[in-house]
Amino acid sequence: MIDFNIAPHTGNEVKYIQEAIASGKICGDGTFTKKCSQWMKEHFYTNQAFLTTSCTHALEMAAVLSGVKPGDEVILPSYTFVSTADAFVQRGASLVFVDIRPDTMNLDETLIEDAITEKTKVIVPVHYAGVACDMDTIMNIAKRHHLKVVEDAAQGFASYYKGKSLGTIGDFGCLSFHETKNLSMGEGGALFFQNNAYQEKAEILREKGTDRSKFFRGQIDKYTWQDYGSSYLPSDMNAAYLYAQLEIADEINEARLACWNRYYEQLLPLKKAGKIDLPTVPEGCVHNAHMFYIKARDLEQRTRFISYMKENGVLTVFHYIPLHTSPAGQKFGRFHGEDRYTTRESERLVRLPMYYGLTLDQVDFICGLVKNFFELEEQ
């Protein structure tokens, strides 16, 4: 059986975890946490990079730092993971879902402005599959309406928009290092921002509401409770696991891109024949091969496809069920305008296996099954 996902593993993870244990400091902000943060600052040109316990928690921090309060509205796509919404619901905000573009599955930037009201506080672009939203348009809208932009770049590690790393363009950027992502620490994430004015508040928020970070830097004699906070810093053992992958991030990225390109090359004839749709990468975007998906004709055909692939030893999966159709989505938000593409496209999309360690021979085998399925569909 070819799995849909296998968590990345490079070989040095256990060695670095043992080093963390030997250091005597396995809680947060140890040696490996600092190494990971510094690596991201240097490679992604962000002034601040806080390693967190998850991307969910990075989003929660961004919501607090953005000043979101009860009664505020947040604009986001419905086609996303629940964490995108949860972070703002926790602050008492109302969700305003906007339709997506069918080519990238990203928030349709042309629909944002019509959804803005006097209560709007934040726009949350989600970079689906590591392919960037139209950030120039989104940032221009935000600037004109004095709104914050929180990038959900959970899938965007080492993806770029016009030369800028995803997560570094908006006011805040949130990345994920969950085991399903290109690089992993099991559970983990990161918060990026460029404006150093947020540093102290972010540190206090991340350290249970205390100014403990300043104490460890020797800036104060003792630390105390300063403001609202939580525990958003991961164990240094998790950071050690991640650092082993950061060291060979380019190698991991190249291997994934090779598989992505092989998928596209092999399946392009099916697209040209009108049998499937393939991912689109707009000009100016550099993606990270986070996932490869195809779009079947409809939900029924997709269901048959997933069953066929499983019967032949390949696990494929559908992705998000639109949030606005869920009980919580209906409770905490509303869909602005027409759901022209969100539901329809979500019912067509199916993800093919993609992970570090997947071989080109396996990709060829998978593509052979995909072609066979669509040939059978015509009989």
Residue spans of the domains in the chain: they are 13-246, 249-377
| Cβ neighbours of 219 (radius 10 Å) | 10
Please state, in angstroms and rounded to a whole number, the distance separating the CA atoms of residues 84 and 280: 23
Q: What's the whole-number mean pLDDT along residues 65-73?
A: 98
Question: Is the per-residue pLDDT at 78 higher than 90?
Answer: yes
Q: How far is CA 364 from CA 290, 356, 358, in A?
A: 18, 16, 11
Question: Is the per-residue pLDDT at 210 higher than 90?
Answer: no
Q: What's the whole-number mean pLDDT along residues 141-158?
A: 98
pLDDT at 214: 80
Written out in words, the top-level CATH class of the domain with range 249-377 is alpha beta
Whether residue 352 contacts residue 260, with contact meaning beta carbons closer than 8 Å, is answered with: no
Which of 265, 266, 262, 255 is CA-nearest to residue 288?
A: 255
- Mean pLDDT score of the chain, rounded to an integer? 96
Q: What's the whole-number mean pLDDT along residues 195-210?
A: 93
Question: Is the per-residue pLDDT at 325 higher than 80?
Answer: yes
Question: Is the per-residue pLDDT at 136 higher than 90?
Answer: yes
pTM for this one? 0.96
pLDDT at 294: 98
What is the chain's Cα-based Rg?
21
pLDDT at 150: 98
Question: Is the per-residue pLDDT at 100 higher than 80?
Answer: yes
Q: What percent of the chain has pLDDT over 70?
A: 100
pLDDT at 175: 98
State the pLDDT confidence band at 241, using cuts at 50, 70 and 90.
Answer: very high
Residue 172's contacts (CB-CB under 8 Å, 6 or more residues apart) are 61, 62, 65, 66, 148, 149, 150, 151, 191, 192, 193
Sign of the C-alpha dihedral, residues 251, 257, 260, 264?
Answer: negative
Render pLDDT for 267-297 as a digit per residue (tens, 0 to 9). Answer: 999 999 999 999 999 999 999 999 999 999 9
Written out in words, the top-level CATH class of the domain with range 13-246 is alpha beta
Render pLDDT for 107-128 as a digit per residue (tens, 0 to 9). Answer: 999 999 999 999 999 999 999 9
State the pLDDT confidence band at 218, using cuts at 50, 70 and 90.
Answer: confident
